[in-house]
């Protein structure tokens, strides 16, 4: 949960030939035998209606449609409380991204020196940028570095 949205992530990306653009029309089953068993036991109903139900529920409440992302190994759905607004990047974030673009990565100590801030501020900015997808974290402890994000 985030202040502006709820994210639901499922392991395993979309299966078969279904893409994010085709979610309303297409469906694919990984384990047909299991699905048939569940249908026979009445554990599954209205197969393929989940996307329409989500879209209808959001629309009825005056909320934006969910955002679907297929990341190959995971499938992510974002439910926003209101239409997301592009917030301009702060000067510090722009400077960090420029550094990463030039050097390929940044460490906390590099960010501290670059921005002239204390350790806590540098750590906060890097973690914030990681959470928003601008950066991704690699390594642990002293070997931690931040690389360009997945977006």
For CATH 3.30.565.60, list the domain ranges present in the chain: 5-80
As its CATH architecture, domain 5-80 has 2-Layer Sandwich (3.30)
Q: Is 122 exposed, middle or buried (0-12, 13-18, 19+ CB in 10 A)?
A: buried
Which residues, 6 or more positions from 5, have their beta carbon under 8 angstroms from its beta carbon?
78, 79, 80, 81, 84
CA-closest candidate to residue 59, choices 36, 75, 79: 79
Q: According to the model, what pLDDT value does residue 18 have? A: 73
Q: According to the model, what pLDDT value does residue 46 have? A: 60
Burial profile 134-150: b = 16 or more Cβ within 10 angstroms, e = fewer: bbeeeeeeeeebbeeee
List C-alpha distances in Å: 149 to 3, 26, 146: 21, 30, 8
Give me the CATH code for the 91-148 domain, please.
1.10.10.10
Print pLDDT tens along the chain (151 aa): 877 788 999 888 777 777 777 776 666 677 778 878 888 888 876 666 777 888 888 888 888 888 888 887 888 888 888 765 555 668 899 999 999 999 999 999 999 999 999 999 999 999 989 888 889 999 888 889 999 986 4
Q: According to the model, what pLDDT value does residue 70 have? A: 84
The residues pairing with 135 across neighbouring beta strands, listed in sequence order, are: 148
For CATH 1.10.10.10, list the domain ranges present in the chain: 91-148
Write down the pTM of the prediction.
0.48
Q: According to the model, what pLDDT value does residue 50 have? A: 77
Question: How far, in Å, CA of 144 to CA of 151, rounded?
Answer: 20
Which residues, 6 or more positions from 38, have their beta carbon under 8 angstroms from its beta carbon?
44
The residues pairing with 137 across neighbouring beta strands, listed in sequence order, are: 146
What is the C-alpha R_g of the chain? 20
Q: According to the model, what pLDDT value does residue 101 have? A: 94
Q: How many CB atoms lie within 10 A of CB 6?
A: 12
């Amino acid at each position: 949960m985030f202040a502006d949205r709820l994210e639901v992530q499922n392991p395993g990306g979309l299966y078969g030939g279904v893409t994010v653009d085709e979610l309303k029309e297409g469906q694919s089953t990984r384990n047909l035998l299991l699905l048939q068993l569940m249908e026979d036991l009445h554990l599954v109903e209205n197969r393929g209606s989940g996307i329409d139900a989500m879209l209808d529920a959001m629309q009825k409440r005056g909320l934006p449609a969910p955002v679907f992302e297929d990341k190959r190994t995971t499938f992510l759905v974002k439910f926003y409380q209101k239409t997301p607004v592009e917030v301009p990047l702060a000067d510090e974030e722009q400077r960090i991204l420029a550094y990463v673009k030039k050097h390929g990565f940044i460490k906390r100590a590099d960010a501290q020196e670059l921005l002239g801030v204390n350790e806590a501020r540098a750590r906060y900015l890097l973690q914030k940028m990681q959470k928003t997808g601008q950066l991704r974290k690699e390594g642990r402890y002293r070997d931690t570095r931040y690389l360009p994000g997945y977006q």
